[in-house]
C-alpha cells in the first residue's frame, strides 16, 4: 500500500496545539478575516477576467483591481493610483525596476543590508557589465549616508536600498539618501518589502523614485500580491518591461502599450489576490498604521530587553526598538540556529525563522555569516504573553546550552 503523506495540519497540531507565530517578516499570519472573505467573494460572485471584456462581470473584476490600486495608493501616499504597478511580489517589482532601467556601462550603489531580491539581480547586472558598489554598514547594520555619497561615480544612475532590514528590522536612512540622490540627479529605488504597511509612508514626499512592496507581509494581503510604485521622475520611455503580452488595451497593436499601468502588467492579473490585498489594506487603515506600529514597538522593546538579559544570548542589530521594525535576530552561544528553531517549534510551539533569511550580505555585515541567526518577527496579532512565553523558551534553551558547555 502506498504510504500516505501526513496532513501537514494534523501532523503539526499533534506536536504543537497552539502556535505562536513569530515569522511575520516572512509573511504575516493570521490574515484579518476580511481578507479570505473578500477573496471568496471575488471567486464566487465575480470570478471574471479584469478589463478584458466589456461585460459586467469583467468590469466588476476591473473595479476590484482598481480599488486595490486606490487602497495601496492612499496608504502609501501615491497621488495617482495608476502609478501603482501590480505584480506577484516585491522580488518581481525589484527585478522589474533594476532590469528595466539599468544598462551595461552604468553604475549602481547599494548597501550591505540587502535581501537577495536586490542582490541577485544586481550581481547578474554586474556580470553583464554594470558597475556595482556595495556600501558597507556597521556591525549593527547602520548605514552612513555619507558613505553612499562617496561611492557615487559619474556613470552612477541609481541607488538601491532597503527601507528596513528583514533580518534585524533596522530602519535605513532613506530620507538622507534620497537627498543625495536628488542632489546628484540619480534614481532612488527603495525595497519596502518589510516596511510598507508597517510604518506611515508618503511616497510622493519620500524622495524615492521607485518603491517595491509586497502584499503579504505588513499589508496583510495574501501571497502572490505586490507591486512597484513609479514616481514622476522616472523616464517611462527608457523603462523596459520584463514581460510583454495581453493587457486588454490597444488590442489591435502588436507593440506593448507605453502607458501605465498596462506597460508593466501583461497577462491576467491576480484579481482574487488583489481583492484580498484591498481588504488587508482597508483593515490596516481601520486599525491605524500608527496604532499597530506603537503596539509592535512596545512588544519589540520587551523582546529585545528580555533577550539581552539572558546569559549566552547575542542580540543582533541596534537593540533599540525605536530604530527598527518588530524583527529581532539573535544567537545562543554553543547552539546551532537550526537546532534552536527546531526546539522552539517542537517543544514550545513557536514558529521562528532560522538561517540566513535570503540575506547573506546582511549576515556578513552583522558577523553571523555563514551560520546565520534565529529571527523572531512580530505582527499585529502578537501579544505580550506570547513574547513572555518566547523569552522563557529562549531562557531554557540558553540554560541547556550553558549547562552543556559546562559539562564538556
Partner 1 sequence: MSATTYRHRLYLVLSASHAIKGESALLRAGIPCALIPAPRAASSQCGVCLQVGFETREEAGDVLQKAGVQVAGTVDIPADSGRAGI
Ligand X SMILES: Cc1ncc(COP(=O)(O)O)c(C=O)c1O
Q: Which of 87, 137, 358, 406 is catalytic?
A: 358
Residue closer to ligand X by CB (options 306, 363) is: 363
Residue closer to ligand X by CB (options 82, 358) is: 358
> At its nearest, how many Å lie between partner 1 and the CB of residue 19?
40
Number of other residues whose CB lies within 10 A of the CB of residue 124: 13
Give the residue, chosen from 31, 69, 115, 293, that forms a contact with partner 1 under the rule CB under 8 A: 69
- Select from ligand X, partner 1, none the partner in contact with residue 91, using the beta carbon and a kind-dependent cut-off of 5 to 8 Å: ligand X
- Select from ligand X, partner 1, none the partner in contact with residue 81, using the beta carbon and a kind-dependent cut-off of 5 to 8 Å: partner 1
Give the residue, chosen from 32, 221, 226, 341, that forms a contact with ligand X under the rule CB under 6 A: 226
Site mask, ligand X, residues 100-119, x = CB under 6 A? ---------------x-x--
Which one of 115-123, 226-234, 258-266, 272-280 is the stretch in contact with partner 1 (CB under 8 A)?
A: 258-266
- Residues across the chain: 408
- Select from partner 1, ligand X, none the partner in contact with residue 58, using the beta carbon and a kind-dependent cut-off of 5 to 8 Å: partner 1
- Select from partner 1, ligand X, none the partner in contact with residue 214, using the beta carbon and a kind-dependent cut-off of 5 to 8 Å: ligand X
Q: Does 257 bind partner 1 (CB under 8 A)?
A: yes
1: buried, middle or exposed (CB in 10 Å: 19+, 13-18, 0-12)? Answer: exposed
Residue closer to ligand X by CB (options 28, 156) is: 28
- Select from partner 1, ligand X, none the partner in contact with residue 194, using the beta carbon and a kind-dependent cut-off of 5 to 8 Å: ligand X
Which one of 88-96, 265-273, 284-292, 301-309 is the stretch in contact with ligand X (CB under 6 A)?
A: 88-96
> At its nearest, how many Å lie between ligand X and the CB of residue 174?
13
Sort strands 156-162 and 187-191 into parallel, antiparallel or unpaired.
parallel
> At its nearest, how many Å lie between ligand X and the CB of residue 190?
10
Residue closer to ligand X by CB (options 39, 218) is: 218
Question: Distance between the two ends of the chain, CA-based, in angstroms?
Answer: 47
Write down the residue that cell numbers 547578474 correspond to.
124
Give the residue, chosen from 214, 329, 377, 390, that forms a contact with ligand X under the rule CB under 6 A: 214
Give yes or no: 406 in active site: no
Q: Does 273 bind partner 1 (CB under 8 A)?
A: no
Q: Which of 158, 168, 151, 219 is nearest to 190 (CA)?
A: 158
> At its nearest, how many Å lie between partner 1 and the CB of residue 254?
12
- Select from partner 1, ligand X, none the partner in contact with residue 90, using the beta carbon and a kind-dependent cut-off of 5 to 8 Å: ligand X
Q: Which of 405, 393, 407, 390 is nearest to 333 (CA)?
A: 405
The CA distance from 355 to 338, in Å, is 7
Give the residue, chosen from 16, 34, 41, 66, that forms a contact with partner 1 under the rule CB under 8 A: 66
Site mask, ligand X, residues 160-179, x = CB under 6 A? --x---x-------------
Residue closer to partner 1 by CB (options 69, 163) is: 69
Q: Does 297 bind partner 1 (CB under 8 A)?
A: no
Binding-site size for ligand X (CB under 6 A) equals: 13
Q: Which of 151, 237, 217, 190 is nearest to 353 (CA)?
A: 217
> At its nearest, how many Å lie between ligand X and the CB of residue 5?
26
Q: Does 266 bind partner 1 (CB under 8 A)?
A: no
Binding site for ligand X (CB under 6 A): 89-91, 115, 117, 162, 166, 191, 193-194, 214, 226, 358
Binding site for partner 1 (CB under 8 A): 50-55, 58-59, 62-63, 65-66, 69-70, 80-82, 247-253, 257, 259, 261-262
Residues noted as catalytic: 358
Amino acid at each position: 500500500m502506498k504510504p500516505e503523506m501526513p496532513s501537514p495540519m494534523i501532523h503539526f497540531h499533534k506536536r504543537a496545539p497552539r502556535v505562536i507565530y513569530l515569522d511575520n517578516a516572512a509573511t504575516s499570519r493570521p490574515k484579518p478575516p476580511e481578507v479570505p472573505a473578500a477573496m471568496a467573494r471575488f471567486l464566487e460572485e465575480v470570478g471574471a477576467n479584469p478589463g478584458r471584456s466589456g461585460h459586467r462581470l469583467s468590469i466588476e473584476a476591473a473595479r476590484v483591481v482598481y480599488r486595490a490600486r486606490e487602497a495601496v495608493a492612499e496608504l502609501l501616499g501615491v497621488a495617482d493610483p495608476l502609478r501603482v504597478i501590480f505584480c506577484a511580489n516585491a522580488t518581481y517589482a525589484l527585478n522589474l525596476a533594476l532590469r528595466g532601467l539599468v544598462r551595461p556601462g552604468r553604475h549602481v550603489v547599494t548597501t550591505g543590508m540587502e535581501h537577495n531580491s536586490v542582490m541577485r539581480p544586481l550581481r547578474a547586472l554586474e556580470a553583464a557589465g554594470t558597475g556595482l558598489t556595495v556600501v558597507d554598514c556597521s556591525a549593527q547594520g547602520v548605514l552612513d549616508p555619507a558613505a553612499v555619497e562617496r561611492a557615487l561615480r559619474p556613470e552612477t544612475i541609481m541607488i538601491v536600498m532597503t527601507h528596513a532590514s528583514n533580518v534585524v528590522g533596522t530602519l535605513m536612512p532613506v530620507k538622507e539618501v534620497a537627498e543625495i540622490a536628488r542632489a546628484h540627479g540619480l534614481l532612488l529605488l527603495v525595497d519596502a518589502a518589510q516596511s510598507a504597511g508597517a510604518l506611515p509612508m508618503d511616497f510622493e514626499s519620500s524622495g524615492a523614485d521607485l518603491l517595491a512592496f509586497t502584499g503579504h507581509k505588513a499589508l496583510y494581503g495574501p501571497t502572490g500580491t505586490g507591486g512597484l510604485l513609479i514616481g514622476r521622475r522616472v523616464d517611462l520611455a527608457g523603462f523596459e518591461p520584463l514581460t510583454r503580452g495581453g493587457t486588454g488595451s490597444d488590442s489591435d497593436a502588436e507593440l506593448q502599450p507605453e502607458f501605465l499601468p498596462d506597460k508593466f502588467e501583461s497577462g491576467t492579473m491576480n484579481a482574487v489576490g488583489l481583492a484580498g490585498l484591498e481588504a488587508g489594506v482597508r483593515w490596516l487603515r481601520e486599525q491605524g498604521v500608527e496604532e499597530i506600529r506603537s503596539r509592535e514597538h512596545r512588544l519589540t522593546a520587551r523582546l529585545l530587553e528580555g533577550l539581552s538579559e539572558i546569559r549566552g544570548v547575542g542580540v543582533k542589530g541596534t537593540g533599540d526598538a525605536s530604530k527598527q521594525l518588530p524583527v529581532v535576530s539573535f544567537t545562543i552561544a554553543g547552539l546551532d540556529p537550526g537546532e534552536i528553531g527546531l526546539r522552539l517549534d517542537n517543544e514550545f510551539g513557536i514558529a521562528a525563522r532560522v538561517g540566513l533569511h535570503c540575506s547573506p550580505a546582511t549576515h556578513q555585515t552583522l558577523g553571523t555569516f555563514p551560520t546565520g541567526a534565529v529571527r523572531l518577527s512580530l505582527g499585529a496579532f502578537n501579544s505580550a504573553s506570547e513574547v513572555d512565553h518566547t523569552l522563557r523558551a529562549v531562557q531554557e534553551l540558553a540554560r541547556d546550552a550553558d549547562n552543556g558547555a559546562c559539562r564538556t
